[in-house]
A and B are shown apart, each in its own frame.
Chain A
Amino acid sequence: MITTSGLTKVYRSRGREVTALDGVDLHVREGEVYGVIGQSGAGKSSLIRCVNLLERPTAGTVSVDGHDLTALAGRGPRAGRELRRARSRIGMVFQHFNLLSSRTVQDNVELPLEILGTSGKERSRKALELLDLVGLSDKAKAYPAQLSGGQKQRVGIARALAGDPKVLLSDEATSALDPETTRSILQLLRDLNRQLGLTVLLITHEMDVVKSICDSAALMENGRIVESGTVSELLATPGSELAAALFPVGGDASGDDRTVIDVTFQGDAATRPVISQLSRTYNIDISILGAAMDTVAGRQVGRMRIELPGVYEENVVPIGFLREQGLQIDVVGERELVKDGAK
């Protein structure tokens, strides 16, 4: 639904150059919620703003719903008719809501329809319908200043949906909200994604956001996507930083001559008694250092950190046994080695 290839953005100001995006290839499938996570300054906002060409990419292409937007953009700095039409089919919500304070809630939701040239009657019907969808039908005549942050973001979402977009872009939509409100806004986005088949690309610096609603995720660092995939793919990727962050387990080794491994269970692997089998088969004592069950992207996932006696070399066979059972095994300590080797 959204594809970027080789997307590069270099900001030039007063002779200084900042490469905010450095060849980003992103692929968001139709109907999924895709989260891009990264620290402040990683280039997330630049990425999402390049998707609807609020920011002109320095190089690379963006296509949304089969339309190559970079081709529509033309060469001048101003957005031509074609690009503006394409933008009207992409909804966008913002961290600071960006509602017009001079307009009522209903008039704010009607604004995209005014731009599309919809008739007055149809506009108000549609606006009221959308306000109902986001649970704010009683606030139609209020002004944004009279609303709470969560309500403002609901108006922002209703407004973003006014043009019947297939794609919703969300730039830190919950970052200005308290945890409770964040949950309700995320739930709303999830519902809209399900009910309307809306494809959602959201960027965030909060892992919880990805954990609660994303089907797929990408990790951004220094303008590059360093990891990406569906959440279950990521969880099944040994050494995945995103997986570790999404689903952390704690616990330290009790001595030097021990091997600590993280076992991730997904699906039916979670129901088999593999740990006791391991213990019996190889006659070893296993201590459990930490464990957690959680729901990630709507699936039950279990993770357990266990300790085997002896150094890694002595445990190659038991670890192999666990891998054969279809479990994902990360050897703690080895992960750092792998990463250092890659650098």
Chain B
Amino acid sequence: MTWSEMQPLLEQACWDTLYMVGWSTLIAVVGGLPLGILLVLTDRGGLLQNVVANKVIGQVVNIARSMPFIILMVALMSFTRTITGTTIGREAAIVPLAIGAIPFFARLVETAVREVDHGLVEAVQAMGGNTWTVVRRVLVPESLPSLISSATTTVVALIGYSAMAGTVGAGGLGDIAIRYGYQRFETGLMWITVAVLAVVISVIQFAGDYAARRLHRRGGGSGAAPRLRLLKAGPKLGKAA
């Protein structure tokens, strides 16, 4: 295979991957952020304490999160058809990717939000703020560096999952590596794909870390900034005692 043969394949694959991962990340953030916050708020001692709701959400999230992606994809076929009208192609892959990533991101959000000092919540309550104020002015902005790290982790995980999306004909970099490298012994193309994946993941990770660090430095100062592939944020933001 020559470079001129590979190039359009790779280009298309890159776009397919970014398309799938981009949309499913967006959906995962939109769905996982409120879910993660709700997990904190409904917990014992939380602002919207509701033990039953907390247990139910927690259980659903755990099950969805531990489900192997390939099984999730198959299990969700009819749901995917209802939404996208098809079970193959890029759009069809986005549905299971997003649904797999929502609980994944939600747990990371939960961990990040729990790190927020409860004193800040109390301060806002003492000013007369309601629960929504607390979420909007305290929980989200104060955990933003960790939330960005969490989103980065989710993107990287989604790139991994999207490799399996090839099985429903969605294309993407992972699909190329499997089809050409594994099935047709095009070792050259496979290694190039691997290299491209490595570069894409590194760039995303770097951008995410950079953004998180910048925000963190602005606010925190003393604590260590979130590090590469850290699931949890760094220590609580600096608090002089």
Question: A residues bordering B, Cβ < 8 Å?
Answer: 52, 54, 77-79, 84-88, 90, 92, 94, 96-103, 111-112, 114-116, 143-146, 148-149, 152, 159, 163, 169, 176
B115-132 contact mask (Cβ, 8 Å, vs A): 1 or 0? 001011011111111110
Q: Which of B123, B124, B137, B141 has the most CB of A within 10 A?
A: B123
Report how far A143 CA is from B222 CA in the complex, Å: 12
Report how far A84 CA is from B127 CA in the complex, Å: 8
Collect the chain A residues with CB atoms within 8 Å of residue B49's CB: 77
A146 touches B221 (CB 8 A): yes
B238 touches A94 (CB 8 A): no
Collect the chain A residues with CB atoms within 8 Å of residue B123's CB: 92, 94, 98-99
B240 touches A176 (CB 8 A): yes
Q: Known contacts being A98-B117, A145-B238, A176-B240, is A112 close to B221, with CB within 8 Å?
A: no
B128 touches A115 (CB 8 A): yes
B124 touches A101 (CB 8 A): no
Report how far A56 CA is from B128 CA in the complex, Å: 15
A54 touches B137 (CB 8 A): no
Collect the chain B residues with CB atoms within 8 Å of residue A146's CB: 221
B240 touches A149 (CB 8 A): yes
Question: B residues bordering A, Cβ < 8 Å?
Answer: 47-49, 117, 119-120, 122-131, 133, 137-138, 141-142, 144, 215, 218-222, 237-241
B120 touches A54 (CB 8 A): no
Closest 9 CB pairs of A and B: A145-B221, A88-B128, A101-B219, A98-B123, A84-B128, A102-B141, A98-B119, A112-B127, A92-B126
B128 touches A112 (CB 8 A): yes
A100 touches B128 (CB 8 A): no
B219 touches A143 (CB 8 A): yes
Residue of A nearest to B140 (CB): A102
Report how far A235 CA is from B28 CA in the complex, Å: 66
A78 touches B131 (CB 8 A): yes
Collect the chain A residues with CB atoms within 8 Å of residue B129's CB: 84, 115
Collect the chain A residues with CB atoms within 8 Å of residue B219's CB: 101-102, 143-145
A145 touches B128 (CB 8 A): no
B221 touches A100 (CB 8 A): no
Collect the chain A residues with CB atoms within 8 Å of residue B125's CB: 54, 79, 87
Q: Known contacts being A98-B120, A102-B141, A103-B141, is A85 close to B218, with CB within 8 Å?
A: no
A52 touches B240 (CB 8 A): no
Q: Which of B117, B129, B138, B237 has the most CB of A within 10 A?
A: B129
CB distance from B203 to the nearest CB of A (A): 26
Collect the chain B residues with CB atoms within 8 Å of residue A152's CB: 240
A84 touches B120 (CB 8 A): no
A100 touches B127 (CB 8 A): no
Can you list 22 contacts pairing A with B, beta carbon distance less than 8 Å? Answer: A79-B125, A79-B130, A87-B126, A92-B123, A94-B119, A96-B117, A97-B240, A98-B120, A98-B123, A99-B123, A102-B142, A102-B215, A103-B141, A111-B137, A112-B127, A115-B127, A143-B218, A145-B220, A145-B221, A146-B221, A148-B240, A176-B241
B127 touches A145 (CB 8 A): no
CB distance from A184 to the nearest CB of B (A): 16
Collect the chain A residues with CB atoms within 8 Å of residue B122's CB: 54, 94, 98
Report how far A286 CA is from B123 CA in the complex, Å: 57
A54 touches B126 (CB 8 A): yes
Report how far A145 CA is from B236 CA in the complex, Å: 12
Report how far A264 CA is from B237 CA in the complex, Å: 50
Residue of B nearest to A169 (CB): B126
Q: Known contacts being A79-B125, A100-B137, A102-B219, is A145 close to B131, with CB within 8 Å?
A: no
Contact partner of B222 (CB less than 8 A), chosen from A54, A90, A112, A145, is: A145
CB distance from A286 to the nearest CB of B (A): 50
A90 touches B126 (CB 8 A): yes
Report how far A77 CA is from B130 CA in the complex, Å: 12
A145 touches B237 (CB 8 A): yes
Q: Which of B122, B131, B222 has the most CB of A within 10 A?
A: B122
Residue of B nearest to A80 (CB): B130
CB distance from A32 to the nearest CB of B (A): 21
CB distance from A48 to the nearest CB of B (A): 10
Known: A77-B49, A116-B128. 11 other contacts (CB 8 A): A84-B128, A88-B128, A96-B119, A98-B117, A98-B122, A102-B142, A102-B144, A102-B215, A112-B128, A115-B137, A146-B221
Report how far A110 CA is from B100 CA in the complex, Å: 40
Report how far A114 CA is from B127 CA in the complex, Å: 10
Collect the chain A residues with CB atoms within 8 Å of residue B127's CB: 87-88, 92, 111-112, 115, 159, 163
CB distance from B241 to the nearest CB of A (A): 6
Report how far A96 CA is from B133 CA in the complex, Å: 21
Collect the chain B residues with CB atoms within 8 Å of residue A103's CB: 141
Collect the chain B residues with CB atoms within 8 Å of residue A84's CB: 128-130
A100 touches B142 (CB 8 A): yes
Collect the chain B residues with CB atoms within 8 Å of residue A169's CB: 126
